[in-house]
Amino acid sequence: MKWSKVVFTLVSIGLTGIASFSSAAPLQLASHQAVYDLRLEELGENSGIEGVRGRIVMKIEQQCDGLIVNQRMVLEMINFEGNVIVSDFSQSTWEDNSGRMMRFDMSNMLNGQMIEKYSGIAEHRENGTVVEFSDPDQPDLELPSDVIFPGEHTRLVLKAAAAGKNLLSAKVYDGNGKYALSDTLAVICKAQTLLTPAEAEEDLKGQTYWPLQISFFDLTQQQTEPDYKIAMRIFGNGVATDLHLDYSDFSLRGDVAELTFLTPEKCS
């Protein structure tokens, strides 16, 4: 199921074409930790699920030479027989500020049993983009040359939003193993100002945000409908609120339960 990937791609959006590796200083994201409480919005007719709830914890640390993202998503699902299914997905990434290279480490557990685990390095090289896994039995991946990594996606969508652009597409590799390459289509709506924030979002009062929706398509198949969609409010500092996670079987809403801004690293 694709829903386990949502944590790593909350803002997985880029401009069409190859990322520009310029010497200019990259846009700096706010170091912060956000906790989102997930609740069920809608169930599909044939989902086989009676209830879903969960939590996402995301910690983003903007360092002088790169971006660290630690994320965890836990879902508790109840089927019609009353059985409880617990999905526990974690991922850590470090991406250099130029968007050239990303280290990743992910694990996906179902009812306490490991079902997926990957770690490795994805890198743009002169002869293409390559993913090397730490497991010697896992062959390397050769990716299209126009792939963009998540940290660069976030910066590019914020720049596009500020420039008034409203439609973006990109091939995305998010570090979630050998099937982690997606085609994405993003729609950015008109800028708004947060005037009446929820209690947990008080530090965002008066800041500009853009309503944003991203659709994800599996590049291994010819699809007209996305695997899943994510909607949110994305602020100019990279903070996301008001999550809506739309899968084929169900959709979830994610509200900010806690938001803490972290002390940024001092750079020369």
Q: Give the per-residue pLDDT at 142.
A: 93
Q: Please list, in sequence order, all residues whose beta carbon lies within 8 angstroms of the beta carbon of residue 119, skipping any fewer than 6 positions away.
A: 103, 104, 105, 106, 133, 134, 135
pLDDT at 8: 39
Predicted local distance difference test score (pLDDT) of residue 23: 35
Q: What sign does the CA torsion over 36, 122, 166, 246 have?
A: negative
User: How many residues in total does the chain contain?
Assistant: 268
Q: Specify burial of residue 152 (Cβ count, 10 A radius: 0-12, 13-18, 19+).
A: buried
Amino acid at 258: E
Q: Check residue 26 and give its pLDDT.
A: 57
Distance in angstroms (rounded) separating the CA atoms of residues 87 and 109: 6
What is the domain partition of the chain in residue ranges?
2-261
| pLDDT tens sequence for the chain (268 residues) | 444 444 434 543 222 222 333 334 457 789 999 999 999 998 887 778 888 999 999 999 999 999 999 999 999 999 888 899 999 999 999 999 888 999 999 999 999 999 999 999 999 998 889 999 999 999 999 998 899 998 888 888 888 899 999 988 888 899 988 888 888 888 999 999 999 999 999 999 999 999 999 998 887 777 778 888 999 999 999 999 999 999 888 899 999 999 999 998 888 7
pTM more than 0.85: yes
